[in-house]
């Protein structure tokens, strides 16, 4: 599960390890990145790395 914010600006964080933070991505951009990531892998740590990279 990816957590994002619809407030327009700001950073989201996840300290509990259950969620992947979308950082500054809008929910729409986070959704697109998640869909693209899932075409390559279902490994949570690799998807989280993609969110940190892009």
**Domain span including residue 25:** 2-53
Alpha-carbon torsion angle 19, 3, 20, 42, nearest 10: 90
Percent of the chain with pLDDT over 70: 83
Q: Domain of 30: which CATH number?
A: 3.40.50.40
Decide if pLDDT at 32 tops 70. yes
Number of domains, the chain: 1
DSSP bridge pairs for 2: 20
**H/E element, 28:** helix 27-40
Cβ neighbors of 16 (< 8 A, separation 6 or more) are none
7-26 tens-digit pLDDT: 766 566 666 678 888 888 88
Contact 7, 22 (CB under 8 A): no
């Amino acid at each position: 599960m990816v957590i994002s914010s619809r407030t327009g600006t700001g950073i989201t964080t996840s300290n509990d390890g259950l969620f992947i933070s979308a950082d500054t991505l809008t929910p729409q951009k986070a959704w697109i990145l998640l869909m693209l990531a899932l075409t390559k892998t279902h490994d949570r740590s690799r998807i989280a790395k993609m969110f940190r990279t892009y």
